[in-house]
Amino acid sequence: MNINEMKSKHNLLKDFSYELGEIEKGYTNRTLYVNLSNNEIKEKPVTQLMKDKFIGGKGFGLKLLWDATKPDTKWDDPENEIIISPGPIGGITQYAGAGKSLVVSLSPLTDIVIDSNVGGYFGPFLKFAGFDALEIQGKAKSDVIVIIDGKNGTVRIENAPEEAINSHILAEQLTDMYAESENKKNFVSVVSAGLAAENSHIGVLNFSFYDKKRKKVRLKQAGRGGIGSVLRNKKIKAIVAIADGIKPNNVVDIDAIKECGARFNKEIRELDDDQCRMRKEGTAHLVEIMDDYDLLPTNNFKYGSHKDIMNIHSSVWRSKFTQGVFDGCWIGCTMACAKAVDGFELKTGPYKGDKVIVDGPEYETVGGLGSNCGIFDADHIIEANFYCDTYGIDTISFGTLTAFLMECYEAGIISKEITGGLEFTFGNKDAAIELMHQMARGEGFGVIAGLGIRKMKAFFAKEYGADINFLNDIGMENKGLEYSQYVSKESLAQQGGYAMTNKGPQHDEAWLIFMDMVNKQIPTFEDKAEALHYFPMFRTWFGLMGLCKLPWNDVEPANNAETDEPGKVPEHVQNYITIFNAVTGLNIDNKEMIRQSERVYNFQRTFNIRRGYGLRKHDAQPYRAAGPVTSEEYESRSDRYDKQLLENIKVNPEGKTTEEKVAILREYKENMYEQLLDAVYNRRGWTKNGVPTVAHLKDLGMDLPEVLEIVEPLQ
Amino acid sequence: MKTITVNEISLKWEENMNINVILKRMNYTFRMLVVKVDGKLIKKHEYESTVVSPGSDVKVIHLISGG
């Protein structure tokens, strides 16, 4: 069926017209509310309180979701929302990485708030269309698309029965359908998911942008926490934003922003090849580095390196990625790390034989779909990356849960009879890709796997009598979210950087492994607590603004080493403060920057508490994140662990069995983590149970009545 | 045996031991580094020419990178 025939099958459910308006100092000062249960569409004002306390992006998402839901709202209740917001800096084109959207929803994996940061053009186009956030509530009766037309000032809900569901086809169909001409395809952006998103809890949202050079639609993912599953549960096939060109943010001081941008672009041009090689390899440059430091998860985080690393070395990815073409996921991003493999011929699944473009793989995908499953085959990783994207599932969660299944299989907890014939031995790429196809078809063992590790653990214990304690030790999830791809065993600070997060173990709050394990810069609990205060707060700020984190520290000024705190990249931090002030006309400094984040961070913690989570017990980690669970793991690094027994615990390992040594080390490491919790909570202004104190909230100016109502009884 | 200290780890000292040799011995392959010898900053172009003495305290500060 061609595009016109598909469009003719659309049935208009609601047509809403509005005044386009202008952006003023980074804000449009209104949000867009769409309810798919009753087809209500309306504008809502952005209040001064929202701007003062919540800033934008993730902050707006949290505020709107709090107001829209009850403490017991479930992810698949109609009142759950998907909120997309670009933040006040989002949409500028003079500084790299300023096109991000923050997506917020209640997660099917965690039952708490999830936030996910994503590139692609949708967020800026939403703002150009006149809205600081899109808030979608309710459930449609049958598949719909929502079209936000920023050229004509309309928002439409249409039944769309004929279009594909898988993203690589759907995004192309809708780009063709809604672009005014071939030359205007880059002014259409599509948000979609895929078939596996609707049959699992690990769905992603794909945000598109049109690559004019390649003449292809590209996809970037809001990957964590299953928001794509929420999208499909609401029977949303896609959300489309149409822009009428690039609109200015009407900032206060454009010259200041340009000056920062020009200086940054010079760094990229002159230094990137000797630093992170983001323009040639993207984040995949990290693969062999993580292997060298024993940090690349291998065989379900048992180990941190592997003899076959050369098969997935960054030089392999460099040779696979098309070089010399534009790879920025928003206009003006000279870091251009959104690498892609062109003309990849698929070997499996419904698109077998098709030659496709594959966005990535990035480091996390190589670790998740590759090494952590014991798979060191670059073409398999590319194929699995493609299918994760088009089926709309998270490469990180899929990788970590498949690695968990492989360990369960090898430990005899599950068998071929249970998996329907799939042999989940480490390294079995055929089983891994078939699991993914099953997930997309909504059949077989793929349906169980798609529930995520936390629910699988309970299922295996109940149905197959598995030892729940062992499953809890090896199942790499916290709060219900699967771990991202770094081995944290030798960095106590990173254990906190993962398990003390608000949304679950994603490294976007803090990555402290080098600082802690290699540099030994933060030896005391107080030092670690300071790092686990500063970095999560600083990095939260990107999510309030519509910014990408990568330009902060994946290239650094030539004189960065000469600064007092090179790990913080002070010149780039100052760039961000300058840009925020130049956009909004406000006058913050680096202290207020952190306080802006603290307000939102504490609100999110309180949101979790309101929902029955967010306490100390919810910050517990699986022991695999801290130390060796099995004798096999211990013996693989026995020199290291014996030394830890001797030097840290003052226990002579000689004459002890491996099981005894595992137990002694475990007791020590678990005690260390409890002490870390105490130190971090104290630094963050929380009680020993992880609840923000009233005094701290007052100090931050975040003592809103609805927040105090939650925390006061828990002081 | 003469030694130096690198990030609080004792390492056997060698004749003409420069920064590049130290990085190789420690298998420090990450590229975003700040190197200090006895508190003095060593710039990247000085790695080859900077030879350390026995007992030197070398700090190799790995910065942060990645998503």
Q: What is the pLDDT of residues A323-378, one digit of tens each?
A: 998 899 999 999 999 999 999 999 999 999 999 999 999 999 999 999 999 999 99
Number of other residues whose CB lies within 10 A of the CB of residue A337: 28
Contact across the interface for B63 and A514, Cβ inside 8 Å: yes
Contacts of A709 (CB under 8 A, 6+ apart): none
**Residue B29 contacts A where some CB pair is shorter than 8 Å:** yes
Contacts of B44 (CB under 8 A, 6+ apart): none
Domains and CATH numbers, chain A: 3-242 (3.60.9.10), 277-482 (1.10.569.10), 492-555+588-714 (1.10.599.10)
Tens-place pLDDT, residues A540-550? 999 999 999 99
Contact across the interface for A561 and B34, Cβ inside 8 Å: yes
Contact across the interface for B66 and A507, Cβ inside 8 Å: yes
The stretches in chain B having pLDDT less than 70 are 66-67
Question: What's the token pair of residue A341?
Answer: 């493999």
pLDDT of residue A326: 82
Q: Closest Cα to residue A675, out of A437, A492, A514?
A: A492
Secondary structure string (H, E, C) spanning A308-375? CHHHHCHHHHHHHCCCCCCCCCCCCCCCCCCCEEEEEECCCCCCCCCEEEEECCCHHHHHHHHHHHCC
A46-79 burial code (b ≥16 CB/10 A, e <16) = beeebbebbbbbbbbbbbbbbebbeeebebeebb
Contact across the interface for B61 and A567, Cβ inside 8 Å: yes
Contacts of A713 (CB under 8 A, 6+ apart): none
Contact across the interface for B64 and A553, Cβ inside 8 Å: yes
- The domain ranges of chain B are 3-62
What angle is formed at CA A395 by the lines to CA A467 and CA A205, rounded to 5 degrees? Answer: 120
Q: What does the alpha-carbon distance between residue A137 and residue A65 come to, in Å, rounded to a whole number?
A: 10
Mean pLDDT for A612-624 is: 98
Q: Which helix (H) or strand (E) holds A116?
A: strand A113-118
Question: What's the token pair of residue A365?
Answer: 């995908």
Nearest chain B CA: its distance from A573 CA (Å): 14
Number of other residues whose CB lies within 10 A of the CB of residue A348: 16
- Which residues in chain B touch residue A514, judged by CB atoms under 8 angstroms apart? 30, 62-64
Tens-place pLDDT, residues A90-114? 999 999 999 999 999 999 999 999 9
pLDDT of residue B65: 76
Tens-place pLDDT, residues A693-711? 999 999 999 999 999 999 9
Per DSSP, A617 falls in state G
Separation of first and last alpha carbons in chain A: 62
Q: Do the Cβ atoms of A88 and A116 come closer than 8 Å?
A: no
Mean pLDDT for A411-416 is: 97
Nearest chain B CA: its distance from A233 CA (Å): 29
Q: How much of chain A, in percent, has pLDDT values that exceed 70? A: 100
Mean pLDDT for A634-654 is: 97
Q: Do the Cβ atoms of A669 and A628 come closer than 8 Å?
A: no
Q: Closest Cα to residue A491, out of A467, A511, A516, A469?
A: A516
pLDDT of residue B64: 83
- Which residue in B has a C-alpha nearest to residue A557's C-alpha? B32
Nearest chain B CA: its distance from A555 CA (Å): 8
Nearest chain B CA: its distance from A310 CA (Å): 15
- Which residue in B has a C-alpha nearest to residue A507's C-alpha? B67
**Per CATH, domain B3-62 is 3.40.50.150:** no
**Residue B5 contacts A where some CB pair is shorter than 8 Å:** no
Which residues 633-692 on chain A approach chain B with CB closer than 8 angstroms?
A: none
**Residue A511 contacts B where some CB pair is shorter than 8 Å:** yes
pLDDT of residue B67: 58
Tell whether the model's pLDDT for residue A138 goes beyond 90. Answer: yes
Q: pLDDT-based confidence at A288, cuts 50/70/90?
A: very high
What angle is formed at CA A370 by the lines to CA A224 and CA A423, rounded to 5 degrees? Answer: 100
Mean pLDDT for A657-682 is: 98
Per DSSP, A26 falls in state T
Tens-place pLDDT, residues A436-484? 999 999 999 999 999 999 999 999 999 999 999 999 999 999 999 999 9
Q: Tell me, what's the ipTM?
A: 0.96
Contact across the interface for B67 and A520, Cβ inside 8 Å: no
Q: Average per-residue pLDDT in chain A?
A: 97
- Which residue in A has a C-alpha nearest to residue B66's C-alpha? A283
Q: pLDDT-based confidence at A1, cuts 50/70/90?
A: confident
Q: What does the alpha-carbon distance between residue A82 and residue A69 come to, in Å, rounded to a whole number?
A: 12
Contact across the interface for B64 and A567, Cβ inside 8 Å: yes
Tell whether the model's pLDDT for residue A588 goes beyond 90. Answer: yes
Contact across the interface for B66 and A514, Cβ inside 8 Å: no
The beta-carbon neighbor of A566 closest among B30, B34, B43 is B34
Q: Which helix (H) or strand (E) holds A149?
A: strand A144-149
